[in-house]
Amino acid sequence: IDMVATDHAPHLKVAKDQDYWKAPSGMPGVQEMLLLLLSKVQTDDLTLPRLVELTSYNPAKQFAVANKGQLKEGYDADLVIVDMNKKGVLDESMLESRCGWSNYTGLEFNAWPVKTFVNGNLVWDGEVISDEWKGKLVTRSDV
């Protein structure tokens, strides 16, 4: 495995609650992916350095995205701080996705993100505290 990602298909629950052949494919998952991967770190199926490699370093390298994927001078300071001892149950009130549901609600996780920085700016500390996270188009660089 070189990379781990999610397609994050945030369809409304009402769109999913219909006949299988009529329901849109996919499910939300971008917010839950890190929780799931951290649970694999907790069970020693994955290391934190490998998690970073799979979710940051390798995608930035594969898609030639400049100044991303590493903690390095001159690179964008896009960081997630995690508490590897924080326990909690995912519930719908925690979800940022507009679809408002997740297949993972009700599950207990033993490691949680506690802060998010975008370009060095604190944008999430248990709640959204800044709109600095609003992205910009990122394209392949000339490498």
Give catalytic residue positions.
7
Under 8 Å between Cβ of 115 and 122: yes
Rounded CA-CA distance 75/3 in Å is 20
Residue 94 CA to residue 97 CA, distance in Å, equals 9
Q: Given CA atoms 72, 78, 83, 87 in this order, what sign does their dihedral have?
A: negative
